[in-house]
Structure 1
Amino acid sequence: MAATVRQGLAGGLAPALHMPPTPSVQKVLFTESSPNVGGQELQILQQMQCLSDSGVEARLLAPPSSGVARLAMARNLSVSAVDFRSALDPQSVARAVAIVRRWRPDAIVSHSSHDSYVCALAARFARPRPVLIRVKTYQGARRPRVWALNRFFDKILVPSVALGTELERMDGFTPSSVDVLYPGIDFPALDRDRTLPLPPEVERWLEQRPGFLMVQAAMLRPEKGHLFMLEVLKEIFAENPYARYIVAGDGPMRSQIEDRVRSLDLHDHVLVAGLVSVVAPLLARADLVVAPSFTEPLGMLQAEALGLGVPVLASNVGGIPESFADSEAGILAVAGSKEDWRRALRRAHDDRAALRAKALAGAPSVRARFSMTANIQRLLEMIAAGRTS
Structure 2
Amino acid sequence: MTRIFCKANHLFRGCPQLAGQWMQVNFVVLSVQTFALRLNTSQMTCVFFADSTLLASEHHEQLIRQAQGLNEQGFRSRVLGRPGSELSLSCVKAGLAFEPVPFLSFAHPTSVWRVSRLLRRHKPVAIICYGEMDSALMALSVRALAGLKCLRYRPRLIYMQKGQTDSVRPYFYNQVFDITLVPSHALRDQLLNGRAIQPSRVAVLHPGVDFDAIARAAVPMPAPPLDQLLSNPNKRPLIFHRAPFGVEKGHDFMLDVVDSLLAEFPGLTYLAVGEGEMRETFQREVQRRGLSDHVLILAALGQPASVLARADVLVMPSAHESLGKAPIEALSLAIPVVVSNVGGLPETVLDGQTGFVCPPPFEKGAVDQWATVLRGIFSAPQNSKQMARTGSFAVRKQFGWASHLAGLIEQFNPPRLKSH
Identity %: 34
- For structure 2, list consecutive stretches of 5 or more residues without a partner in the other structure: 1-40
1:154/1:386 contact within 8 Å kept: no
**Equivalent residues in 2 for 1:46-195, closer than 5 Å:** 46-124=65-143, 125=145, 127=151, 128-140=153-165, 142-195=166-219
**Whole-Å separation in 2 of the counterparts to 1:37 and 1:226:** 26
Q: CA deviation at 1:151?
A: 0.6
**Superposition deviation, residue 321 in structure 1:** 0.7
Q: Secondary structure at the match of 2:245?
A: coil
Compute the displacement of 1:179 (Å): 0.8
- 2:345 corresponds to which letter in structure 1? I
Partner of 1:345: 374
Cross-structure match for 1:16: none
Q: How many Å apart are 1:312 and its aligned residue?
A: 0.2
Question: What's the secondary structure of 1:310's corresponding residue?
Answer: coil
Q: Deviations over 1:137-194 (max 9, x none)?
A: 2113x34211122111000101111111111123211111111101100111112221
Q: Answer whether contact 1:326 1:362 (CA < 8 A) is retained.
A: no
CA distance in 2, matches of 1:221, 1:260: 13
- Given that 2:350 and 2:356 are in contact with CA atoms closer than 8 Å, whether structure 1 keeps it comes out as no
Residue by residue over 1:298-328, the C-alpha shift from the partner in whole angstroms, topping out at 9 and shown as x without a partner, is 1111111112211100001011111125641
2:69 is the alignment partner of 1:40: no
Instruction: For 1:199 and 1:67, locate their aligned partners in 2 and report how far apart those are by CA, in whole Å.
Output: 28
112-121 or 52-61: which moved more?
Answer: 52-61
Q: 1:273 deviation in Å?
A: 1.7
1:361 aligned onto 2:386:
no
SS of structure 2 residue aligned to 1:290: strand
Mapped partners of 1:38, 1:228: distance in 2:
28
Between 1 and 2, higher relative CO (CA 8 Å, sep ≥ 6) is seen in 1
2:11 match: none
Q: Residue 85 and residue 200 in structure 1: after superposition, are their counterparts in 2 closer, same or farther (change >3 A)?
A: farther
| Worse overlay, 186-195 or 29-38 | 29-38
Deviation of 1:35 (Å):
3.3
**Counterparts in 2 of 1:187 and 1:150: CA distance versus 1, 3 Å:** same
Determine whether 1:297 maps to 2:322: yes
Question: Given the alignment of the two structures, is residue 333 of structure 1 paired with residue 358 of structure 2, yes or no?
Answer: yes
**How has the CA–CA distance of structure 1 residues 323 and 313 changed in structure 2, closer, same or farther, with 3 Å as cutoff?**
same
**Mapped contact 1:229–1:292 kept (Cα < 8 A):** yes
Comparing 312-321 and 126-135, the one that deviates more: 126-135
Q: Which moved more, 1:344-353 or 1:298-307?
A: 344-353
- The alignment of Structure 1 onto Structure 2 pairs a total of residues equal to 367
- Secondary structure, aligned partner of 2:59: helix
- Indicate conservation of the 8 Å contact 2:45/2:75, yes or no: yes
* Aligned mate of 2:223, from 199, 203, 222: 199
After superposition, the CA RMSD in angstroms is: 2.3
Answer yes or no: is the 8 Å Cα contact 1:221–1:253 preserved in 2.
yes
Cα gap change, 1:35/1:333 in structure 2, threshold over 3 Å: closer, same or farther?
A: farther
Runs of 4+ in 1 over 6 A off after TM superposition: 22-25
CA pair 388-121 structure 1, distance change in 2 beyond 3 A: closer
State the shift of 1:38 in Å.
4.0
Q: Write the deviation string for residues 340-364 of structure 1: whole angstroms up to 9, x where unpaired.
A: 2222222222232201111112311
Distance in 2 (CA, whole Å) between partners of 1:189 and 1:122 is 38
AA aligned to 1:161 is H
* Corresponding residue number in structure 1 for 2:399: 370
1:359 & 1:111 partners in 2: Cα distance?
33
Amino acid at match of 1:187: F
Match of 1:246 in 2: 271
TM-score (norm 2): 0.81
Indicate the SS of the match to 2:378: helix
State the secondary structure of the residue aligned to 1:324.
coil
Q: Partner letter of residue 381 of structure 2?
A: R
Q: Which residue matches 2:14? A: none
How many angstroms apart in 2 are the aligned matches of 1:71 and 1:257? 34
SS at match of 1:272: strand
1:113 CA drift (Å): 0.8
**Paired residue secondary structure (2:286):** helix
Amino acid at match of 1:387: R
Displacement, 1:134?
0.8
From 212, 216, 220, the equivalent of 2:245 is 220
CA distance in 2, matches of 1:63, 1:23: 26
- Give the secondary-structure state (helix, strand or coil) at the position aligned to 1:116: helix
Aligned-partner Cα distance in 2 for 1:25–1:286: 48
Q: Which residue of 2 aligns with 1:322?
A: 347
Q: Is the 8 A contact 1:73 1:79 kept in 2?
A: yes
Using the size of structure 1 for normalisation, the TM-score is 0.87
Aligned to 2:225, the other structure's residue is in SS state: helix
Offset of residue 386 of structure 1:
5.7
Give the Å deviation of 1:119: 0.9
CA contact (8 A) 1:64 1:70 kept: no
What is the CA–CA distance in structure 2 between the aligned matches of 1:386 and 1:169, rounded to whole Å? 30
Change (3 A) 1:70 1:342: same
